Amino acid sequence: MSLTAKAFAVYEPNGKFQVYDLNRRPLSAHDVAIRILYCGICHTDIHQVKDEWHNAKFPMVPGHEITGIVQQVGSAVKDFKLGDRVGVGCMVDSCRACPPCKRDLENHCVQGFSGTYNSTEQDKVTPTYGGYANFIVVNDHFVVQIPKDLPMDSAAPLLCAGITTYSPMIQHNVGKNTKVGVVGLGGLGHMAVKFGVALKADVTVISTSESKRNDAMRLDESGNNSDEIHARNIFFWGRFLGIAKRREHPRTPPN
């Protein structure tokens, strides 16, 4: 038996959101059914709704920064139980058999991972629909626990913007004695500043917009590990932007 969810969908590029009754799949052994409490609005959602990347599939239910409560679990689910606070990010499945999947690099799955929306399940046919809905069914491999002391609303953006900025910092051993430059103080940028400060790095926001100076300083001052040294090192140096654009920056290879 499939499970009906109420969702918000757009039906055409730049279309208006409309209520959409969605059938989530029946739970298989490793599935977790989640009652969605919050879903962040990632700029990807805006790009996709406007079909700015020319790969939009309609009707589309965006949303890949999802937090909610476990409502039902499949028979083989061990790590989640009813009532658990959980999150779902940008991926909901992958082949789990290829070399990258075996190394926990599902985002590099050679078969292609299943995005949370505007994508297909691993059958490459069934469309996926995201978190602008009250309910979702996700394989337990792609569900994470949300710590009890983390508010569910502010936890949601960590599932995309958060991991996108946290992951490279950890891969590159950011910490004390590291200098981090954050280009742009947008949705991801402000997370990067917070992570950098929390990791005790010297963080510099690089922007041509003087109006964001105070916001950058405030992010540091509200950080758990704020101190005068960090505050001094958060400043704007607009000229950097031109320099950064001219340089080649290698992408981090999957290793």
Q: What DSSP designation does 55 have?
A: -
Assign residue 173 a region: left if phi > 0, alpha if psi is -120 to 50, beta otherwise?
left
Nearer to Zn ion, 160 or 180 (CB): 160
Helices (H), the chain: 43-49, 99-102, 152-155, 161-171, 187-198, 213-221, 228-233, 239-246
Least Å from the CB of residue 215 to Zn ion: 21
Tokens standing for residue 156: 């949601």
Query: Cβ(154)–Cβ(190) under 8 Å?
Result: no
Q: Position 176: which residue type?
A: K
- Rounded to whole angstroms, the maximal C-alpha distance in the chain is 59
Q: Which is nearer to Zn ion, 51 or 220 (CB)?
A: 51
CB of 234 to Zn ion, least distance (A): 25
Give residues in contact with Zn ion (CB under 5 A). 42, 44, 94-95, 98, 101, 109, 160
Q: Closest CB to Zn ion among 131 and 234? A: 131
Least Å distance, CB 44 to Zn ion, is 4
- Minimum Å gap between C-beta 107 and Zn ion is 10
Q: Do residues 65 and 164 make contact, with C-beta atoms less than 8 angstroms apart? A: no
> Of 92 and 109, which has the nearer Cβ to Zn ion?
109
Q: DSSP state, 208?
A: S
Q: How far is the CB of 108 from Zn ion (least distance, A)?
A: 8
Query: Least distance from C-beta 43 to Zn ion, angstroms?
Result: 7
| Amino acid at residue number 129 | Y
Q: What angle (nearest 5°) sits at the alpha carbon of residue 254, between those of residues 32 and 142?
A: 5
162 vs 196, beta carbon nearer Zn ion: 162
Tokens 């959101």 appear where?
17
We find the least distance from the C-beta atom of residue 113 to Zn ion, in angstroms, to be: 7
Q: Do residues 66 and 116 touch, judged by C-beta distance below 8 A? A: yes
Nearest CB to Zn ion, comparing residues 110 and 243: 110
- CB closer to Zn ion out of 113 and 236: 113
